[in-house]
Amino acid sequence: MDQLLIAADNALRTLFAKPRAAQPSPAKGLPEGDLSAAQRREAGALMRVNHVGEVCAQALYMGQASVTRDPALRAHLLEAAREETDHLAWTAERIEALGSRPSLLNPLWFAGAFAIGWAAARVSDAASLGFVVETENQVSRHLQGHLKRMPRQDAASLAVIARMQADEERHAAQARASGAAELPAPVRAAMSAAAKVMTTTAHYV
C-alpha cells in the first residue's frame, strides 16, 4: 500500500505540478537560437516528444518499484526516477521557451507506462531490469535521431538532448550490471512498435 501511495503521489506531481530539477539544465547560459517560425514549431514538437518520454520513464520506474520485493532494487529504481525528474524539468523548460506545450495525452502515456512497468516487475526482477535496458537503449537511439533533426541554431535544446542521451545510456548499463535478463526478440519488437506510435502521436498531440 505504501508503494502504491508513493506511485500515486509521483503521478500527480509528474502530470500536474511543475517539475523541479536537482541539477542545473545543460541549456543554462546558452542563448536562444534565431529560429524561424517553422523551426521553432519543429523544435517544440521534438521536445514535446522527449517530455513524453520522461513522463513514461517516471511511470515505468514507479510501476516497477511498487512491485519488487528487493529493497536494493527498489532504491535503485527510485533513484533512477529522481534522475529522470531532472530530464522532465529540462524538457518542460525547453517546451516553454520554444512557445510549445506538453502532450495533451500525458495521463494516458503515464498510465500505459506504469502498467507495463508493473507487469514486467511481476514476472521477475531480472525481467524488470531487462525491460529497463531495452527501454533505455531505444530511448538513446531515439534521442540520437533528435540530435540530427533538431535545428542547429537551437543549441540549448541540443545540449539538453545530448545530456539526456548520456544519462539514459548510463541507466541501461547500470541495469545490465544489476542482473538484467535479455528480453525475447518479439518483446523488443513490440516495444519498438509501441514507442513508434507514442512518439508519432506526441509529435502532434
Q: How far is CA 50 from CA 73, 114, 118, 138, 154, in A?
A: 26, 17, 22, 12, 15
Say which residues have a Cβ less than 8 Å from residue 44's Cβ, sequence separation at least 6: 95, 98, 99, 100, 101
d(CA 73, CA 150): 36
Residue 99 CB: number of other CB atoms within 10 A? Answer: 11
Q: What confidence score (pLDDT) does residue 3 get?
A: 64
Q: What is the pLDDT of residues 86-101, one digit of tens each?
A: 999 999 999 999 999 9
Domains (range + CATH), the chain: 2-12+43-202 (1.20.1260.10)
Highest mean pLDDT among 16-25, 37-46, 106-115, 178-187: 37-46
Q: Percent of the chain at pLDDT above 90?
A: 64
The residue behind cell 505504501 is: 2
Question: Cα–chain-centroid distance for residue 13?
Answer: 15
Between 47-56, 65-74, 137-146, 194-203, the lowest mean confidence (pLDDT) is in 65-74
The yes-or-no verdict on residue 2 having pLDDT over 70 is no
Q: Which residues of 50-76 are buried (b: 16+ CB within 10 A; e: fewer)?
A: bbbbbbbbbbbbbbbbbbbeeeebbeb
d(CA 15, CA 138): 23
Label residue 77 by pLDDT band (50, 70, 90): confident
